[in-house]
Amino acid sequence: MNLNDVLFIESYPSIDLHGFDSNYAKVKVNEFINDNYKMGNYIIVIIHGIGNGILKREVQKELKLNSKVADYRLFYNNIGCTIVKLKR
């Protein structure tokens, strides 16, 4: 599946990072990725909000480093969300 084809993010597992500091968010994102990888969910959504972009930058750093992540991009309809495709 191409991430550009995702129309409705409500049908995918998601984590909302609003209110988290960047260090705690990094831990939770990696746990969320690992859990969904084990369950066979290969498209997930990370809600980081818009704000000053601090959480978005930290999330994207973690996604670059995580070996289970195949691709990611901001959701075209809401830049406060990142859609992530996990490796199979």
pLDDT at 76: 87
Q: How many CB atoms lie within 10 A of CB 12?
A: 15
Residue 83 has pLDDT above 70, yes or no: yes
In the chain, the amino acid numbered 10 is: E
The mean pLDDT of 48-66, rounded to a whole number, is 94
Note the CATH number of domain 3-80: 3.30.1370
Residue 7 has pLDDT above 90, yes or no: no
pLDDT at 65: 96
Question: Could you read off the pLDDT of 21-47 as tens digits, one per residue?
Answer: 999 999 999 999 999 999 999 999 999
Q: In the predicted model, what is the mean pLDDT of the chain?
A: 92
pLDDT at 68: 98
SS (H, E, C) 7-64: CCHHHCCEEECCCCCHHHHHHHHHHHHHHHHHHCCCEEEEECCCCCCHHHHHHHHHHH
Please report, for the chain, the start and end positions of each structural domain, with discontinuous segments joined by +.
3-80
